[in-house]
Amino acid sequence: MHSAQECQEALQKLAGRLGELSEAERREYFGDRSMSVTVPDLGVTFVTVLGAGNDPVREAHPGEPQADIRITGDSDQVIALAEQPMNVARAWMARKVKIEASMKDLIRLRRLL
């Protein structure tokens, strides 16, 4: 099991990949879509906004509205997704992560993961 700080840093690294895209591409793919990652073994949820490309990953506040894209996975899976993002489909098929999003958002998410 990893710490909440390690997960937050891994998610920031993952979100930072958006910085590799031009501003026009970020806006086209993600607009102002929000993403949350719930880590049940740590009892924490992290949120960020994807379109900016540099929005910080932070802990969700109580009562905060649901994110557009919601991912749930234990701390080991969060770290693994950040290190090797192409394995998200494999983790999802093995039911190690849960992804809740519209079909359009799932297609957009492929660009990040």
Give residue limits of the domains in the chain: 4-112
Tokens 């649901």 — which residue?
Answer: 66
Mean pLDDT of 8-25: 81
Judge whether residue 15 has pLDDT over 90: no
| pTM of the predicted protein model | 0.85
Mean pLDDT of 18-27: 76
Domain at 4-112, CATH from 2.60.40.10, 3.40.50.920, 3.30.460.10, 3.30.1050.10? 3.30.1050.10
- Taking only the tens place, the pLDDT of each residue in 25-76 is 777 777 788 889 999 999 999 999 887 666 889 999 999 999 998 999 999 9
Tell me how far apart the alpha carbons of residues 34 and 32 are, in angstroms, rounded to a whole number. Answer: 6
Amino acid 53: pLDDT: 63
Give 43's contacts (C-beta < 8 A, 6+ positions apart). Answer: none
Sheet holding 69-73, edge to edge: 58-59, 44-49, 34-39, 69-73, 97-100
